[in-house]
Structure formats: C-alpha cells, structure tokens
Amino acid sequence: MTADTATIERQSGIAVWRQIADAIRAELTGPLVDTDGKLPPETALAARFGVNRHTVRAAIRALVQEGAVRSERGRGTFVTRRARLTYPIGARTRFSAGLQGQATDRGLSLLSAATEPAGKAVAEALGLRAGAPLIRLETVGYADGVPVSRATSWFDGTRFADIGAQVERTGSVTRALALAGVDDYVRRTTTIEARHGNAEELDHLRLSPGAIVLVACALNVDLDGRPVHYAISRFAADRVTMRIGDDPAV
C-alpha cells in the first residue's frame, strides 16, 4: 500500500471522493502538479489513491466547482492560478477598504434580515439586556464576483431599526451605519479560529466538502465606546489570508 492509499479511510464515514478532493487540494502548490500547473491524468490519480476513475472524477468535479482547478477539454486539469487575498484586521477593519487594490469589484450581498430577541452572548457583547430586540443580517462578501466571506451580524434593533434596508441599498455595513449616524467606529475585539465549513457555508462560498473556513468573531464600537456591531464572519481559507495590525483607510 502506498502512502496515498493509506490516507483513504474507507470506514471513516467520509466519502472517499471527498477525502481524495481534500488530499489533492492540499497538494496543489506542491509536487503533485507540473510546472504548467497541470494535474496528473485521472488514471494516474486513480492508481495513486487506489480507487476507480469515477471516484477521481467526482473529486475533480468538486474542486472545479470550488474554483481550485479547471478542466480543459483535450488538455487535462489545471490549477487555477489565483492570488490569495490579504484581509487586514486592525482598529478600523472594513471589508471593501481592506481589499482595495486587490479586487476591482468589492461589496456585500444581503441574504436576509430578521428581528430576534437577544441571546445571552450577543446581548452581553452589545451591552443590551437579554431578550432585547436585535436586527440580524446574513451577508456574503464578494471580490470580483468570487464569494470570500459569509457573515452573520447583529445590531441593536432599537438604535438601528433600518440597518437591513440600508445595507441592501448601499451594499456596505459602513455606509449603512453612517446613514444611521455612526460616522466612524473601531474594532474593540477580534478572535479568529479555523474549522471545516458546514453545508450552508460551503454552499454560499462555493466550496467543496472538507474545505476550511477562517472564523472571525468581532465587536465594533463607536468613538464613544458604545457597541454598534457584533459579527461572526467566515472566510474561505484558500482565498483569504488574515493580517493582524493593519488599519486600511476608510
């Protein structure tokens, strides 16, 4: 048994094609691909992982859907050469400003807006009583048409009752807050962790099963120190690198 076939755990409960997609993804910047970025043919990959070609094709299809590779008829499968974006985390972290110079088209798409009672954790973060009305926004952030972030944001439902409509209209949390009277705000705290994306995150970020997301939990406050925005943002780890300490211009 080769080292590669040993990595395939057939009784793990994880589909074999998914394990192969994960293994290929991990090697896309290594010796698996040639100098032109071309992957080995399906027959070679099937032999390497000890599976049939149909299983390899399923893995390749997932990676094509994710955008990690592309298939060219008559030529083979190639790595998609795409520079990873750098997302700065600083006192004034803004999605669009943070990606300035790296992507021409940047913005947010509002998936949904809802009013809900504040749970304990969010209430404490925003300085509200438990059960107070909150506005919860679900958004996807894009850079040149590619989804790079999936965020859940909470706002004081009394202070920012129209925040959902303003984010939908402007495509920006910063501009929406300005319309609500918050001309500037700063990041009080940020925590970051990495994990496998869940089904909903994979769907919105166009990732294949097994992909890693970077999860940033952040609290923003106005210049008087009053909380205005609590958010949990998930970034596609193979598309975004986070850099701590930068303050991009707003």
The answer on 207 and 125 residing in a single domain is yes
Burial code of 95-109, b = ≥16 C-beta within 10 A, e = fewer?
bbbbbeeebeebbbe
Q: What pLDDT score was predicted for residue 249?
A: 47
The answer on 116 and 200 residing in a single domain is yes
Q: Would you put residue 145 in left (φ > 0), alpha (ψ -120 to 50) or beta?
A: left
How many domains, in total, are found in the chain? Answer: 2
Residue pair 23/41 in contact by the 8 Å Cβ criterion:
no
Query: Of the candidates 48, 79, 110, which is a domain's last residue?
Result: 79
Query: Of the candidates 59, 79, 99, which is a domain's last residue?
Result: 79
> Residue 36 maps to which CATH number?
1.10.10.10
The answer on 128 and 234 residing in a single domain is yes
Residue 250 domain flag? no
Domain extent, residue 152, equals 85-244
Residues of the chain with pLDDT under 50: 1-3, 6, 249-250
The answer on 96 and 161 residing in a single domain is yes
Cα dihedral 70/107/210/194 (nearest 10): 140
The answer on 70 and 123 residing in a single domain is no
Query: Of the candidates 79, 108, 129, which is a domain's last residue?
Result: 79
The answer on 31 and 94 residing in a single domain is no
pLDDT single digits (tens) 111-162: 999 999 999 999 999 999 999 999 999 999 999 888 999 999 999 999 999 9
The answer on 73 and 189 residing in a single domain is no
DSSP state for residue 51 in the 8-state scheme: S
The answer on 115 and 17 residing in a single domain is no
